[in-house]
């Protein structure tokens, strides 16, 4: 199953976990020649049956292609795999889709660039089943030129591939920022569903009203983003004082329903701190100043 | 400016704060005859110029109409105003749009019904400027028959008027449940914006990606509502163990950016409790069991 020494590929895929396999399959489905490698070779053999070139080593896979995608457990693993191909990295583009922090991404970018290669960091905002579809999203940051050159291949993996900027850390920061929104929304929905369950209302019945609330709130974000960027937080629609008073209603209703108050307590604590900071007459977006002020740097 | 003794109206509006005035104006705009009253009469006089009948007392306003809308500061004020018209309530429908708890709504419903009137509780999920439009939402609960009889008038106030059930407490529980989602989403967006601001990214640049995250997450809610209702939480898309590990990434990124960790700390604490409760292999919706288990009743 090993590839011939002179084999050329459009892309190398290192690491064939669930995501790596989905990436390789998306590339093959778009008629790209893919060299694939995994520490345990079984999954590479499976992909070889689908048309991939199974490499005997990470170094061989890297040698076969100018574009190297890597998706492994963590940055230590990524560094070890790339280290095993260190002598063949010069002139290539390394696209790292491994999850990690912005500091790890910037550090790996520097290491890769020191070896004469260009670096792109990627955060996959899609499930494995969605990769290869027009609607799937991967956020990239790092070398703009490398992104522009390889955009067709990257878009074969995720139709909505987006380049955020040259700072290699941007993809992972956006990743956790979106996760913060995801958990926020899930927690909010589940807290509401818990309150309503106590009143005998099914979550499915709550859903249309929850969606309406999500849509209404999301509709405010254009204006709120402007306020955040401008550092001005007018309380024209509602002041923080009004919000915090209503948070107490949520907390009271939560206690009287016998639902765990973790979520509304956290909101109320943040709101109370905003009032203590003199933000009572400001709009809700002033919370961002509270989040930023503690450790201004 | 006072109304003649024998004046008849389609609806009485008691309490002319910002919301009360908006309600009255929406009714007048839809050609309903409205009798209006406020503790301080100035605002009633203003509405009289727009065609309302300004009543000298709450009791006179109640006497003029079968349908009585009240929107005042709190339930104590609502009880006092309705108490001043106690002898004229029999046979009427009281629609209370004052904010309060489900317990207050149920208590006032019982008081109103003891006086031979029917009761509807309403939660306004719209700003005053939106009332009277097709897209504005008020949630009602209480007497189904009263709602059905007066639906045209209620829809003149809020085009998307919705009746949730006969339990008068349902409107206020839904209200705080939607507020929980609202604060969740706003906090999530502001936390993400704070992280990105540290990396030099404007909130306006984050917005399209934030919206994409909101849309993706909202798309999961149909399935998640089914899981909540069924009490089954398969971790097929991602287990709580995976979620909590990613929460640690968010927390680490938050600390290293010097952003206040209130929000991710609260998420992580909830996630850790879920793992301690043995939910590591469950899907995210198992959080609802955690929220409900503490004070099962």
Contact across the interface for B199 and A170, Cβ inside 8 Å = yes
Sequence-distant (6+) residues with CB within 8 A of B117 are B89, B90, B91, B92, B93, B94
Look at residue B6 in the predicted model and tell me its pLDDT: 53
Token reading at B50: 């727009």
Look at residue A9 in the predicted model and tell me its pLDDT: 81
Contact across the interface for B177 and A195, Cβ inside 8 Å = yes
- Separation in Å, CA of B27 to nearest CA in chain A: 23
Q: How confident is the model over A133-184, as pLDDT tens digits?
A: 999 999 999 999 999 999 999 999 999 999 999 999 999 999 999 999 999 9
**Residue % of chain A over a pLDDT of 90:** 91
- Separation in Å, CA of A86 to nearest CA in chain B: 28
Per-residue DSSP letters for A97-156? -----HHHHHHHHHHHHHTT-EEEEEEE-S-GGGTTSTT--EEEEE-HHHHHHHHHHHHH
Look at residue A294 in the predicted model and tell me its pLDDT: 58
Q: How far apart are CA B24 and CA B17, in angstroms?
A: 10
Strands in B34-37's sheet, in edge-to-edge order, are: B53-54, B34-37, B11-14, B67-70, B93-96, B118-124, B138-142, B162-163
Task: Identify all chain B residues contacting A123, using CB atoms and an 8 Å cutoff.
Answer: none
- Residue A76: pLDDT band (50, 70, 90) is very high
Query: By the CB < 8 Å criterion, does B162 face chain A?
Result: yes
- Residue B3: pLDDT band (50, 70, 90) is low
Query: By the CB < 8 Å criterion, does B285 face chain A?
Result: yes
Look at residue B7 in the predicted model and tell me its pLDDT: 63
Per-residue pLDDT at A297 exceeds 50: no
Query: By the CB < 8 Å criterion, does A122 face chain B?
Result: no
Nearest Cβ partner for B185 among A137, A188, A196: A188
Q: What is the interface size between A and B, counted as CB pairs within 8 Å?
A: 335
Q: How far apart are CA B123 and CA B126, in angstroms?
A: 9
Q: What's the ipTM? A: 0.93
Average pLDDT (A57-77) is: 96
Nearest CA in chain B to A175: B250
- Residue A217: pLDDT band (50, 70, 90) is very high
Average pLDDT (A195-201) is: 97
- Residue B56: pLDDT band (50, 70, 90) is very high
Residue B33 falls in which region: left (phi positive, over 0), alpha (psi -120 to 50) or beta: beta
Query: By the CB < 8 Å criterion, does A219 face chain B?
Result: no
Compute CA B29 distance to the chain's CA centroid, rounded to the nearest angstrom. Answer: 24
Task: Give me the domains of chain B, ranges plus CATH numbers.
Answer: 11-167 (3.40.50.720), 173-296 (1.10.1040.10)
Query: By the CB < 8 Å criterion, does B292 face chain A?
Result: yes
Residue A250 falls in which region: left (phi positive, over 0), alpha (psi -120 to 50) or beta: alpha
Per-residue pLDDT at A3 exceeds 60: no
Nearest Cβ partner for A180 among B191, B199, B224: B191
Look at residue A181 in the predicted model and tell me its pLDDT: 98
Per-residue pLDDT at B237 exceeds 90: no
Task: Identify all chain A residues contacting B295, using CB atoms and an 8 Å cutoff.
Answer: 258-260
Nearest Cβ partner for B209 among A174, A211, A250: A174
A228-232 — which CB contacts under 8 Å span 24+ positions? Answer: A228/A285, A228/A288, A228/B190, A228/B193, A228/B197, A228/B203, A229/B202, A229/B203, A229/B204, A231/A289
Look at residue B222 in the predicted model and tell me its pLDDT: 97
Contact across the interface for A209 and B290, Cβ inside 8 Å = no
Q: Could you say which residues from 242 to 271 on chain A have a Cβ atom under 8 Å away from some Cβ of chain B?
A: 243, 246-247, 249-250, 252-254, 256-260, 262-264, 266-267, 269-270
Contact across the interface for A291 and B181, Cβ inside 8 Å = no
Instruction: Identify the bridge partners of residue A11 per DSSP, sorted by sequence position.
Output: A34
Nearest Cβ partner for A213 among B181, B192, B246: B181
Q: How confident is the model over B249-291, as pLDDT tens digits?
A: 999 999 999 999 999 999 999 999 999 999 999 999 999 999 9
Per-residue pLDDT at B296 exceeds 50: no
- Separation in Å, CA of A94 to nearest CA in chain B: 22
Query: By the CB < 8 Å criterion, does A74 face chain B?
Result: no
Token reading at B187: 């906090």
Interface test with B, best of A141, A167, A188, A227 (most B CBs within 10 A): A188
């Amino acid at each position: 199953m090993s590839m011939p020494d002179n084999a050329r590929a459009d892309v190398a895929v290192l690491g064939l976990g669930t995501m790596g396999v989905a990436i390789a399959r998306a590339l093959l489905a778009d008629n790209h020649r893919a060299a694939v490698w995994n520490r345990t070779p079984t999954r590479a053999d499976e992909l070889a049956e689908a048309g991939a070139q199974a490499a005997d080593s990470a170094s061989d896979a890297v040698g076969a292609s100018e574009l190297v995608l890597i998706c492994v457990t963590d940055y230590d693993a990524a560094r070890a795999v790339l280290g095993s191909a260190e002598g063949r990295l010069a002139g290539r583009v390394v696209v790292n889709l491994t999850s990690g922090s912005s500091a790890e991404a910037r550090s790996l970018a520097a290491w890769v660039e020191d070896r004469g290669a260009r670096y792109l960091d990627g955060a996959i905002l899609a499930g494995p089943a969605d990769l290869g579809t027009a609607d799937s999203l991967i956020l990239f940051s790092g070398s703009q030129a490398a992104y522009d050159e390889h955009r067709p291949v990257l878009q074969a993996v995720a139709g909505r591939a987006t380049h955020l900027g040259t700072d290699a850390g941007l993809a992972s920061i956006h990743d956790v920022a979106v996760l913060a929104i995801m958990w926020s929304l899930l927690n909010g929905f589940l807290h509401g569903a818990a309150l309503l369950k106590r009143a005998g209302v099914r979550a499915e019945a709550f859903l249309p009203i929850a969606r309406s609330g999500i849509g209404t709130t999301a509709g405010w974000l254009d204006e709120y983003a402007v306020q955040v960027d401008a550092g001005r937080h007018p309380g024209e629609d509602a002041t923080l004082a009004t919000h915090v008073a209503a948070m107490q209603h949520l907390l009271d209703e939560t206690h009287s329903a016998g639902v765990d108050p973790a979520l509304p307590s956290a909101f109320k604590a943040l709101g109370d701190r905003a009032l203590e900071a003199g933000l009572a007459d400001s709009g809700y977006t002033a919370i961002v100043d509270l989040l930023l002020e503690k450790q201004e740097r």
